[in-house]
Amino acid sequence: MKHSFQNSVWRHRDVRIVVPARAVSFVGDGMLAVVLLLRLHDGGAGPWAVTGLLIATSLPLVVLIGPAGRAADRWDSRTVLAVALGAQALACLALVPTTSVAGTYALVAAVQTGQAFAGPTWSALVPRIVSAADDVGRMVALQQGLAQALLPVGAALGGVVYGLAGAQVAILVDAGTFGALLLGALAVRTRRGGRADSTLTGHPAIRRAGLVTLRADPVVWPLLLGSLFMVLLLAGVNVVEVFLVRDELGMSAAWYGVSELMVMVGALCGSVLAGRVDGDRARVSTTIGGFGAIALLVVVCGVTPWFPLLLVCSVGLGVASAAMSACFGALLVIRSPDAVRGRMSATVNGLMQLANVGSLLIFGALGTTLGVRHTFVAAAAVALLVALRLRAVAPQPELSGR
């Protein structure tokens, strides 16, 4: 037992603060997303209002790529986190009495502005907290697993609290989770950035943009392009999956919920698997293997006449997507030059949000034009070509110069 602890990420003091605090925050994030949707719906808002909420959620992460990345790399990490998390908590408190659609959009954008700055700051801080490259991989996988598990838990809890106590109580709970994360950030001893961090201020890479550095990495760049496509595919499949389960397979709403639960179970398993992957070469193979597995499983989902097989594929999709995301995330953090790690993380976060939003537009149109099953098959066929192309051209990380 002692030997196991000495080899786990939990041996680091700050990990024992950051992980539980962020876990609580994931629950709050899931709660807030569902509660705001329910409040908009019950207030008589239509589909366009929901689209507007999605835009308000995503736009700050895209627009603030540059400023958020520079702040993460130049300013003291504790200061950035304290300001960002404090602003998120205050914006969340302001959401409690706000019922207007425009006010909701503005405050959600404020919450996400804080997230735009806090996200890359946390990501850039991870290697300083755990030091060893393999520990970085385990830490990324651990946080990935918690996010996959606790966001749906928060969503379910948000629905329950909304039904029992109303939106105001649920939003207050979410504001409390931001407060807990703020206390955790202030308790973390590891620091990065600021005038005292000479490893950053004197580094020649400090003036580079995140996208420039990403494109210069022969391993991360092609995998990022593949990951963006897979995120677009998975988010788009979620758009049309409800029609597959309810209309094509004739299952109830409860069984649709079970299929979503199976994805979460698979994601937890995939995160555990990713935490056991050591070395950049293995992470590249796992990432590309995840691409291929996702494509094949989506094909099976699109053609199967049996709901039990869809449930099995849902577990597989959870495993593949979580392993892919965690291994790519670890590669990104490990291979990023320390001086621009925040900017690279902010850039990737923004691009992922663009892929998510784009998927709603693209797959909504495809589902209407091609039909549900043909949409699954066509998207998966393109994804399989992407995976095969990446497997053919992927360089060996050990020979890539970093």
User: Average pLDDT of 246-269?
Assistant: 81
Choose among 257, 237, 238, 241: nearest CA to 249: 241
Question: By percentage, how much of the chain surpasses pLDDT 90?
Answer: 19
Does pLDDT of 1 surpass 50? Answer: no
User: With 0-12 CB in 10 A as exposed, 13-18 as middle and 19+ as buried, what is 246?
Assistant: middle
- What is the structure's pLDDT at 358? 81
User: Average pLDDT of 358-366?
Assistant: 76
Check residues 62 and 242 and name the one with the higher pLDDT.
62
- What is the structure's pLDDT at 107? 94
Check residues 51 and 264 and name the one with the higher pLDDT.
264
When pLDDT is cut at 50, 70 and 90, the band that residue 208 belongs to is low
Instruction: Supply the mean pLDDT for the chain.
Output: 83
When pLDDT is cut at 50, 70 and 90, the band that residue 126 belongs to is confident
Fold equal for 2-202 and 210-393: yes
Does pLDDT of 47 surpass 60? Answer: yes
Q: CATH class for domain 210-393?
A: mainly alpha
CA angle 238, 239, 242 (to 5 degrees): 80
Choose among 215, 201, 240, 178: nearest CA to 379: 240
Q: Where are the domains of the chain?
A: 2-202, 210-393
End-to-end CA distance of the chain: 35
Query: Could you report the per-residue pLDDT of 13-23, keeping only the tens digit for each?
Result: 888 999 899 88
When pLDDT is cut at 50, 70 and 90, the band that residue 109 belongs to is very high
CB 84 within 8 A of CB 115: yes
Query: Could you report the per-residue pLDDT of 265-300, keeping only the tens digit for each?
Result: 888 888 888 888 888 888 888 998 998 899 899 889
Measured from the Cβ of residue 382, the count of other Cβ atoms closer than 10 Å reads: 12
User: Average pLDDT of 119-133?
Assistant: 84
- Amino acid at site 103: G
pTM: 0.82
- What is the structure's pLDDT at 369? 78
When pLDDT is cut at 50, 70 and 90, the band that residue 30 belongs to is confident
CATH domain 2-202 topology: Growth Hormone; Chain: A; (1.20.1250)
- What is the structure's pLDDT at 81? 95
- Amino acid at site 330: A
Does pLDDT of 400 surpass 50? Answer: no
CB 133 within 8 A of CB 334: yes
Give the contacts of 265 (CB within 8 A, at least 6 positions apart): 315, 318
